[in-house]
Amino acid sequence: MLHNIKELHGYKLGALDGEIGHIKGFYFDDRDWVIRYLVADTGAWMPGRRVLISPYALGPIYPGGKLLEVKLTREKIQNSPSIETDLPVARLQEADYHRYYGWPVYWGGPGIWGLGPMPVPPGEIEEPPAESPSPRPGAGDSRLRPASDVIGYSVRATDGEIGHVEDFLIDDTTWGIRYIVIATGTWWSGRNVIIPPKSLLRANWSDSTLFVNLTSYELRSDPEFQYAGAADHDPRLFR
């Protein structure tokens, strides 16, 4: 199921034994375009503290109740190793964090989640692989970015600017960013269109610009994206 990131901001987080706060934001990996952590504002439970929670611990999302389940106890979260919510997050901190929870490291294999395509804790894998593959090239470098910072980036087609990043659609199974929502503004009467990250040529992070491997005509020919129903189906299977 797909969910837009803007809508998930503010959702309550329900641990196994009580509420632990609400979603404050998301960090994504700019190599694989996958959500690696959500930022939890713990509110009155742990005043003044924000913690990172990996998709390895996330359960179902309930849009009706604006709730995301977390498969951890409050005590487990409270006693977890410190991992800073300000970037850059040190890889050593990430390693300690994953070791504490008993999760595989996402940079330790050929898949976007280490050994596979989904964030599945070791105890839930029915048939673990016989041997651990070698890490992907460059997997030792942390590439985390706040999704909220990229919203608003300019987007350029191969023949000129077309708009800005309006939102992201994420898959709640893999926690991958399936589509980037582009607001075309005055270019095409305010239409929203969506593209998969694989359509990106490159990103200029210092200049806040994404470059798309499509022409403005190709994007203009795409159907307009409507948020209504986005959580119920994949609107662009043909892309």
Q: Tens digit of pLDDT for each residue in 180-214?
A: 999 987 666 678 999 999 999 999 999 999 999 99
Report if pTM > 0.85.
Answer: yes
Q: What is the pLDDT of residue 59?
A: 95
Per-domain residue ranges of the chain:
2-124, 151-220
Mark residue 199 as left, alpha or beta (left: phi above 0; alpha: psi -120 to 50; beta: remaining): alpha
Query: At residue 92, what are phi and psi to the nearest 5 degrees?
Result: -65, -40
Q: How are beta strands 18-29 and 192-195 bridged, if at all?
A: unpaired
Class of 151-220 in CATH: mainly beta
- Distance in Å from the first CA to the final CA of the chain: 17
Q: What is the pLDDT of residue 127?
A: 41
Tell me the two tokens of residue 181. 């929502």
Please give the pLDDT value at position 76: 93
Low-confidence stretches of the chain (pLDDT < 50) are 125-139, 232-233, 235-239
Domain 2-124, CATH: 3.90.50.10
Cα(170)–Cα(175) distance, rounded to whole angstroms? 6
Instruction: Give percent helix, percent strand, percent coil of the chain, each to the nearest 5.
Output: 15, 35, 50
| Structure confidence at residue 10 (pLDDT) | 96
DSSP-assigned beta bridge partners for residue 192:
183
Per-residue pLDDT, 135: 46
